[in-house]
Amino acid sequence: MITEKQLETALDHVKTLLLQQSNRIDVMNTHTEWTHFETLSSVIIGICPGDGIGESISIEASRILHHLLEEELKSGKVIIKTIEGLTIENRIEQMKAIPDDVLSELKSCHVILKGPTTTPQKGDGYPNIESANVAMRRELDLFANVRPVKVSELGIDWCFFRENTEGAYILGSKGIQVSEDIGLDFTVATQPGCERIIRLAFEFAKKNGKTRVTAVTKSNIIKTTDGMFSETAKKIAQEYPGITLDEWFIDIMTAKLLDPSRRAEFQVMVMPNLYGDILTDEAAQIQGGVGTAGSANIGKKWAMFEAIHGSAPRMVQEGRAPYADPSSIIKAAAMLLAHIGYLQKAEKLENALALVGPKKNITGEEFSRILINHLLL
């Protein structure tokens, strides 16, 4: 039995969340202009190592960026700075997902290359601190998580558009234990939030000659939030003749990505936050493992690029951090270069990564030196 006090507390909690989401919609509606990098006198790149193996792999990504942007750094067209302090220890000490001074430094950049960060989970001894990734996506309004996956020999050329600022993740740390017997978590969808990620996916398809966009939901069961996403996709699709929209449910979609007779048909996929996290990790595994894929988090003012894997604390504890594969964050660096307009440098780095391929039993420093040698060819 829920007591009156427990019920009142729960209702007050829901009211607070609803007001926060209403305010967030107001902010979304004011962010209408995209950053145009070609008009900037200097593009500021922040490298934020994070924690765990983040420091080891970020050093190698920094080494590659300094090599490729040597002339731009000398002329001042590009500035690279390192942003410290996004470690789990510092975040716990300040009891913030992103400490204020770190957030200020992040906002002083135009684009960010971020290493993995540790997210506490229930029972691990850490306090309940929100994911740094989730907080950064919210604070910088990085609404689109974009992950390309390409495996030519399998006929796979996918691009995933994952909504980044809504769904279960944005409210994942805002649940409430109503009573000893009832715990309640939340998910959220907004009309402007659904519209901007779906439109971005269709615009990508249009600009890149794609003919199919697939919306991934569970709208047959989660009828309100997923239903809103589904209906918005259908409405926007009418504005893009020549591009076919279809919808797949998340459970069967995880199977169809593994189906050799079906998977090559998919091109652009757009989905709410949680489903995107699941599918993109599966897709990265098909490509060769989560260590082979980078991730772009795109907003209108800022953008953040990151490795898609975790901070691997076990590798650190075992003294193997120097052997962590930096491929994923270097892939993210290539995406960063393309985003700020250095398309040829990005392509050159992508090609070098493909030629070098995954390497076992070598340090990250050895890997990046091999990569630089290929870049010099």
Give the pLDDT confidence score for residue 324 in this predicted structure: 92
pLDDT in tens, 182-230: 999 999 999 999 999 999 999 999 999 999 999 999 999 999 999 999 9
Structure tokens at 145: 């998580």
Q: Round to whole Å and give the CA distance between 161 and 272.
A: 9
What's the whole-number mean pLDDT along residues 320-329? 92
- Asked whether residue 227 is assigned to any structural domain, the reply reads no
Q: 84: domain CATH number?
A: 3.40.718.10
Residue 141 CB: number of other CB atoms within 10 A? 18
Contact 160, 147 (CB under 8 A): yes
Residue 196 domain flag:
no
Q: Considering the domain boundaries, does residue 189 fall inside one? A: no
Mind listing the pLDDT tens digit for each residue in 150-173? 888 999 999 999 999 898 887 877
Is residue 7 over pLDDT 70? yes
Residue 292: what pLDDT?
Answer: 67
Give residue 68's identity as a one-letter amino acid code. Answer: L
Tokens of 298: 């795109």
Q: What is the average per-residue pLDDT within 331-352?
A: 95
Give 246 or 175, the one with higher predicted confidence: 246
In which domain, by residue range, is 93 found?
34-142+299-377
Instruction: Answer yes or no: is pLDDT of 32 > 80.
Output: no
The bridge status of strand 183-184 relative to strand 176-177 is: antiparallel
What is the residue whose two structure tokens read 């604390």?
313
How confident is the model over 243-267, as a mean pLDDT? 96
Pull the structure tokens for residue 220.
Answer: 């047959």
Position 209 in a domain: no
pLDDT mean over 6-15 = 93
> Amino acid identity of 347?
E
Q: Compute the half-sphere exposure of residue 173: CA atoms within 13 Å on the CB side of its CA.
A: 15
Residue 118's nearest CA partner among 54, 196, 163 is: 54
Mean pLDDT estimate for the chain: 92
194 located within any domain: no
On whether the CB atoms of residues 37 and 302 are closer than 8 A, the answer is: no
Neighbours of 69 (CB within 10 A): 21
pLDDT tens per residue across span 71-82: 999 999 999 999
Give a yes or no: residue 220 inside a domain. no
Residue 60 inside a domain? The answer is yes
What integer is the mean pLDDT of 44-66? 96
Number of domains in the chain: 1
What are the two backbone dihedrals, phi and then psi, of residue 157, each rounded to the nearest 5 degrees? Answer: -145, 85
**Distance from CA of residue 185 to its chain's centroid?**
22
Q: Which one is predicted more confidently, 290 or 223?
A: 223
Q: Is residue 255 domain-resident?
A: no
In the chain, the amino acid numbered 32 is T
**Is the pTM for the entire model greater than 0.85?**
no
151-169 in b/e form (b: 16+ CB < 10 A) is eeeeebbbbbbbbbbbbbb
Judge whether residue 357 has pLDDT over 90: no
Residue 48 pLDDT level (bands cut at 50, 70, 90): very high
The per-residue pLDDT for 291 is 64
Q: Residue 54 pLDDT > 80, yes or no?
A: yes
Query: Tell me, what amino acid is at 323?
Result: Y
